[in-house]
Amino acid sequence: MIRWWNQKYIPVIFLCETKKFPLDTGVLMAGPGKSFSDMLIWALREISYKHVFYTLEDCWLIDNPPILKTYLDILITRKADAIRLLPCHNIDTDPYHFEWEDGLLRIQNDSMYQMSLSPSIWNREFFINQLIPGEDPWQIEIDGTRRLSQKNHKIYFVPNLNRWYLNTVHKGYFTDLGKELQKQLYEWHNKS
């Protein structure tokens, strides 16, 4: 659940097409018929924050996320483009290629998944500039990685994070675990 999230310091905004999310949070409704990247570009332009923490519905939060303020400060200090908050990354192994840089893993230009929609803190303008209208999530990651491999970017991974979310979607569909957690969320919401 999102009950641990302090919205006073980090507002939560859900991006939907037309359906309001059932919790008391901010919602941006992009309208029907837009591509995934078109909705995301529109939403990122609608908000005024210089940095955003972005994740998809397939990452079901089961614990407090890493200390976002700490990693936001690192992103700002290093003038980084993004910091990925994936649990359990700590080595340079295919499909990822990293270089250690002051305690963080900097993703290299020959790595897969340079562009990723995994939980990350982004420089919002950099994020917008990596998105091409008309793309689905898989195109964003695959073609976006090709585009990024030609650029000098600063995208970091935080090593050795504990597992703070579960993957609940596979190839665009809820897994059995995802369906069960979604059911629990609606039951919890209806009781409140």
Is 3 contained in some domain?
Answer: no
Range of the domain at 175: 13-191
Is 6 contained in some domain?
Answer: no
Among 78-82, 109-113, 141-145, 153-157, the least confident range = 109-113
Is 8 contained in some domain?
Answer: no
Tell whether the model's pLDDT for residue 64 goes beyond 80.
Answer: no
**HSE-up (13 A, CA, CB side) for residue 93:** 5
**What are the helix (H) ranges across 30-175?**
36-46, 68-77, 124-130, 137-148
Query: For the chain, how many structural domains are there in total?
Result: 1
**Token pair of 118 as six digits:** 């995994």
What's the whole-number mean pLDDT along residues 36-47? 89
Is 7 contained in some domain?
Answer: no
Per-residue confidence (pLDDT) for residue 53, from 0 to 100: 86
Is 55 contained in some domain?
Answer: yes
Per-residue confidence (pLDDT) for residue 174, from 0 to 100: 82
Tell whether the model's pLDDT for residue 166 goes beyond 50.
Answer: yes
Q: pLDDT by residue (tens digit) across 66-125?
A: 677 888 899 999 999 999 988 766 666 668 889 999 889 999 999 988 999 888 899 999
The set of long-range contacts for 167-175, using a CB threshold of 8 Å and a minimum separation of 24, is 167/58, 167/59, 167/60, 168/57, 168/58, 168/59, 168/60, 169/56, 169/57, 169/58, 170/58, 172/137
**Residue of higher predicted confidence among 152 and 19:** 152
Tell whether the model's pLDDT for residue 59 goes beyond 70.
Answer: yes
What's the whole-number mean pLDDT along residues 136-163? 91
Is 1 contained in some domain?
Answer: no
Among 52-66, 106-120, 122-136, the least confident range = 52-66
Amino acid at 185: L
Tell whether the model's pLDDT for residue 2 goes beyond 50.
Answer: no
The answer to whether the CB of 86 falls within 8 A of the CB of 161 is yes
Is 23 contained in some domain?
Answer: yes
The answer to whether the CB of 155 falls within 8 A of the CB of 106 is yes
Is 89 contained in some domain?
Answer: yes
Q: What is the pTM of this model?
A: 0.80
- CATH of residue 130: 3.90.550
